[in-house]
Structure 1
Amino acid sequence: MALEIVGKLIKVLPEVSGQSQKGPWSKQEFVLETLDASYPKKVCLTAWGDKVADLKQFGDGDTIKATFSAESREYNERWYTELRAFRIESADGSNDSGAGYAAPASRPTPQAQARPAQQSQPAPSFNTTFDDESNDLPF
């Protein structure tokens, strides 16, 4: 599962490295702030291995795009989630540093090319008000 996030780099945490049975390893966490004008969110991602070097070419305030995978694991009956960045690049794509992984490009099928483009429809509205009578959940 590959996800993408575009945001402003606001903090790069110190690099952590060590030695395992498989050899040396290094990781570095960094924080992006999304570009949503109303409600910007801060997201912490982790760069492992050679992606740590890719991260060093960016400075605080740079707008970058990170492609990542989300993974959770359990330890002592608690769950820990990590967002592991496997491609880090400038938001405009000029500083492409994803040499280790390139997502396959999706190509439209001939049938999709022959169909006329559909007009965009407004997103459906959802009722976000809740009361005790409309809540039919069993818990």
Structure 2
Amino acid sequence: MAQTFELEGTLKHLFDTQTFASGFAKREFVVEVPDGKYPQMLKFECVKDKISMLDDVKIGDAVKIAFDIRGSEYKERFYVNLNAWKLTKADGGSSSGGSDEGGRYNSSLDSQFDNEPDASDDIPF
């Protein structure tokens, strides 16, 4: 089973729903996450019935996202997707779009990043 992650940020962009010939549908969105001097812009995707959880949010909303990291390979190129399956507004309103898959939180990530060097340089990456 895939490991689950959570993070909080501000909704910056909502893309239109994409529907493919096979019937598969997805919708992408971007969340800005504070990271010291240089905030990070992270693109997530919702697939199938989870697309509806984006109906209740708007640009500028503070959100909390539960997601899985998915990877794939196609013609020797590698892709990583952040697959959102639960979205909660910071005010506590839920937009889970269906069943909750456990609400698991990986606290080991918190300690993993405690040892990062001080980001006092001017390099944005």
Q: TM above 0.5, one fold?
A: yes
Look at both structures and tell me which one has the larger radius of gyration over its CA atoms: 1
The residue aligned with 1:86 is 85
Q: Is the 8 A contact 1:51 1:88 kept in 2?
A: no
The residue aligned with 2:120 is none
Counterparts in 2 of 1:125 and 1:90: CA distance versus 1, 3 Å? closer
Structure 2 unpaired stretches of 5+ = 106-113, 118-125
The alignment-based identity, stated in percent, is 29
Please say if 1:50 is aligned against 2:49: yes
Q: Which has the higher contact order (CA 8 A, sep 6+)?
A: 2
Compute the displacement of 1:34 (Å). Answer: 0.5
Q: Distance in 2 between matches of 1:50 and 1:68?
A: 15
The residue aligned with 1:11 is 13
Which range moves more in the overlay, 62-71 or 35-44?
Answer: 35-44
Q: Distance in 1 between matches of 2:79 and 2:18?
A: 18
Structure 1 unpaired stretches of 5+ = 107-122, 127-139
The residue aligned with 1:63 is 62
Counterparts in 2 of 1:25 and 1:40: CA distance versus 1, 3 Å? same
Across the two proteins, how many residue pairs are aligned to each other? 108
The residue identity in structure 1 corresponding to 2:14 is V
TM-score (norm 1): 0.67
TM-score (norm 2): 0.74
The residue identity in structure 1 corresponding to 2:6 is E
Q: Is the 8 A contact 2:9 2:33 kept in 1?
A: yes
Q: Cα RMSD between the aligned structures?
A: 2.5
Q: Distance in 1 between matches of 2:99 and 2:12?
A: 25
